[in-house]
Amino acid sequence: MKHLISIEDLERADIERIVAQAERFAEISHREIKTLPTLRGRMVLNLFYESSTRTRSSFELAAKRLSADVVNFAASGSSVEKGESLKDTVLTLSAHKPDAIVLRTPWAGAADLVSGWCNAAIVNAGDGKHEHPTQALLDVYTLHQRVGSIDGSSIWIVGDVAHSRVARSNVLAFQRMGAKVTVVGPPTLIPRGIEQLGCEVRYTLDELHTADIVYALRMQNERMSEMWIPSIREYAAWYQINGRRLSPHQVLMHPGPVNRGVELSGEVVDSPQAVITAQVQAGVVVRMAVLYELLAVAREPRPVAAMAGSQLA
């Protein structure tokens, strides 16, 4: 594995290996010294074009737990505001020779583009509405801890699927692990053609009781001005997961931050069925496993010309 750009690039065995590795890292947190020397001397660059406190700090902590050096680069207040392009920023920062770049951008496909511009391993920490693969991996990990195998399980992803990179990565990851995925939401928030990913599409919660796992997506208030739904109250009336709709056998997930009273009612957030806190905790160990997978290997051989030169010297 050279980069982590999309769940599409991962086989089931890859996901299982990362989950198993994350379990090893979870054990480390019980030790007196919680830092491992594994990635000593490696540099991880966090390049964030969107504000994200949790994902960034989770990657930062994961890198530090493995003794890697971390540089945080936020687009606001930097050369980006002076008009520097993504490519120039990446090339400039590459001069510091980072071993990995963790990239969050509002542009779908940016992570893939950047992987062609530099030698670092690229970790996609969210590219526009495309994918957020580490979120999907930590969700698979959380479910593995909570219910064991999800092979054959029915998972319903409810809410604003259209604007959600989490939904796209999770549909792919859950299906790779053998689950049957259904996406549900108002027709305006279900992207056309999503069924081509292999999931089922529904527009009502009538059959919600058939699900084993309910995954609610964040309702993005900032979208309200664009009139995707009549009103937040109307949305909540039809699609909110609450105590009346959630069955006692179901596990409830949410990528956070939760809008209480919108996509989830307060009672279900606080219920023992919700694994939302476990998802946050899984973030660090799963990201450690991803960095380990990408960086605990021999560096790329240098280009042929450089090799020949060094042999002559």
List residues near another protein by CB under 8 A. 17, 20-21, 23-24, 27-28, 31-39, 41, 66, 292-293, 296-299
- By beta-carbon proximity to another protein, the closer residue of 236 and 295 is 295
- C-alpha distances (whole Å) from 283 to each of 113, 129, 203 are 25, 20, 31
The least CB distance from residue 300 to another protein, in Å, is 11
Identity (one letter) of the amino acid at 133? Answer: P
Q: State in angstroms the smallest separation of the CB of 197 from another protein.
A: 29
Q: How far apart are CA 160 and CA 217, in angstroms?
A: 6
Q: How far is the CB of 48 from another protein (least distance, A)?
A: 25
Nearer of residues 31 and 82 to another protein, judged by Cβ: 31
CA angle in degrees (0–180, nearest 5) for 228-230-234:
120
Q: 16 or 84, CB closer to another protein?
A: 16
Shortest Å, Cβ 131 to another protein: 22
C-alpha separations of 212 from 51, 202, 205, 208, 251 in Å = 33, 16, 14, 9, 7
Size (the chain), residues: 313
**Shortest approach of another protein to residue 245 CB, angstroms?**
39
Smallest distance, another protein to C-beta of residue 313, A: 21
Tell me the two tokens of residue 307: 């090799």
35/210 with CB nearer another protein? 35
Which CB, 25 or 174, lies closer to another protein?
A: 25
Cβ-based burial of 309 (10 A; exposed 0-12, middle 13-18, buried ≥19): exposed
Residue 262 or 295 having the CB closest to another protein = 295
User: In degrees rounded to 5, what are phi and psi of residue 264?
Assistant: -130, 145
DSSP state of 229: S
Nearest to 141 by CA among 241, 30, 58, 260: 58
39 vs 214 by CB, closer to another protein: 39
* Cβ at position 51, least distance to another protein in Å: 31
Report the nearest approach of another protein to the CB of residue 9 (Å): 16
Please name the amino acid found at residue 205. L
Which residue, 258 or 282, has its beta carbon nearer to another protein? 282
| Nearest Cα residue to 92 out of 64, 63, 71 | 71
Q: How many CA atoms lie within 13 A of 4 on its CB side?
A: 32
Distance CA 274, CA 231 (A): 26
Name the maximum alpha-carbon separation found in the chain. 75
By three-state DSSP, how is residue 197 classified? helix
Torsion of CA 226, 109, 70, 118, to 10 degrees: -150
